């Protein structure tokens, strides 16, 4: 198996760019940092590794000096990086993996809470298989999309999907908007609609 090496470039205080090797031998563990970084309130950088069918994704923290710490294993593949919300916590989602996908909250120290678990059946009103990044609206709610399911949808994948709204405390609120794209499948993020 071929070894992989991914580097992170950090800007130093003097304005110079330094290459910090961080993730090595990734091909052997089948995970990789696929999504962008977000800076936490403590100045450290956070994101997720995507994972595979056999190896779950993980949430990680990396210091600007290049020290990597894995904070929490996920329940399936991470479909996005993390969102730092107004309550100071990170939010993200997983595609499937023990059901129809999950939206989670994680603290800077790695304490994980599932705030919503999607069902895994095609006709579920909340949809299933969340994809695309979560965003936080000016109203304080989180918004996102699912790749399948939704009210009245009987198709398994890529014919339906939902746009949902969720309070930071968890639980979807308000109506789920079912979206059907017969020519190109379900919406992949809030930016698609």
> pLDDT tens-digit profile of 83-100?
999 999 999 988 766 678
Tokens for 92? 């993200």
Specify the pLDDT at position 189.
Answer: 45
- Collapsed DSSP state (helix, strand, coil) of residue 191: helix
**135-173 residue pLDDT tens:** 999 999 999 988 877 777 766 555 677 888 999 988 887
Q: Are strands 102-106 and 83-84 parallel, antiparallel or unpaired?
A: unpaired
Q: Which residue has tokens 């790749």? A: 147
Q: What is the mean pLDDT of residues 126-142?
A: 89
Asked if residue 44 lies in contact with residue 60, where contact means CB atoms within 8 angstroms, the answer is: no
Q: What is the mean pLDDT of residues 99-109?
A: 89
Q: Domain residues of the chain, as ranges? A: 5-192
Strand order in the sheet with 162-166: 128-136, 142-148, 162-166, 172-178
Q: What is the mean pLDDT of the chain?
A: 74
- Section 13-33 average pLDDT: 52
CATH 3.40.50.300, domain 5-192, yes or no: no
Specify the pLDDT at position 179.
Answer: 64
Q: Which has more pLDDT, 98 or 19?
A: 98
Cα separation, 6 vs 136, whole angstroms: 30
Q: With contact defined as beta carbons under 8 Å apart, do 150 and 158 qualify? A: no
Residue position matching structure tokens 């399948």: 148
| Model confidence band, residue 28 (pLDDT cutoffs 50, 70, 90) | very low
Q: Indicate if the pLDDT at residue 112 is higher than 50.
A: yes
To which residue do tokens 């989670």 refer? 104
More confident position, 99 or 134 = 134
Which tens digits make up the pLDDT trace of 71-80? 888 877 777 8
Q: pLDDT digit string (tens) for 39-77?
A: 999 999 998 887 766 667 788 888 888 788 888 888 777
- Alpha helix locations (H) across 16-67? 26-29
Higher pLDDT, 151 or 20: 151
Q: What is the pLDDT of residue 139?
A: 94
Tell me the mean pLDDT in the region 5-14.
Answer: 49
Tell me what pLDDT residue 163 has.
85
By the 8 A CB rule, do 104 and 78 touch?
no
pLDDT at 167: 93
pLDDT at position 98 is 65
């Amino acid at each position: 198996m071929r070894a992989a090496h991914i580097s992170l470039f950090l800007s130093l205080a003097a304005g110079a760019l330094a290459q910090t090797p961080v993730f090595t031998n990734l091909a052997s563990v089948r995970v990789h940092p696929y999504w962008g970084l977000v800076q936490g309130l403590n100045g450290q950088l956070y994101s997720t590794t995507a994972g595979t069918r056999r190896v779950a994704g993980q949430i990680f923290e990396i210091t600007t000096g290049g020290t990597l710490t894995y904070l929490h294993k996920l329940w399936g593949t991470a479909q996005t990086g993390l969102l730092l919300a107004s309550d100071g916590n990170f939010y993200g989602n997983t595609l499937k993996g023990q059901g129809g996908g999950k939206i989670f909250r994680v603290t800077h120290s790695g304490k994980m809470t599932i705030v919503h678990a999607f069902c895994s059946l095609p006709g579920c009103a909340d949809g299933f298989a969340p994809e695309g990044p979560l965003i936080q609206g000016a109203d304080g709610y989180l918004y996102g999309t699912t790749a399948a399911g939704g009210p009245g949808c009987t198709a398994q994948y890529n014919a339906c999907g939902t746009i949902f709204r969720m309070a930071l405390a968890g639980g979807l609120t308000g109506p789920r908007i079912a979206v059907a794209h017969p020519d190109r499948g379900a919406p992949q993020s809030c930016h698609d609609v």
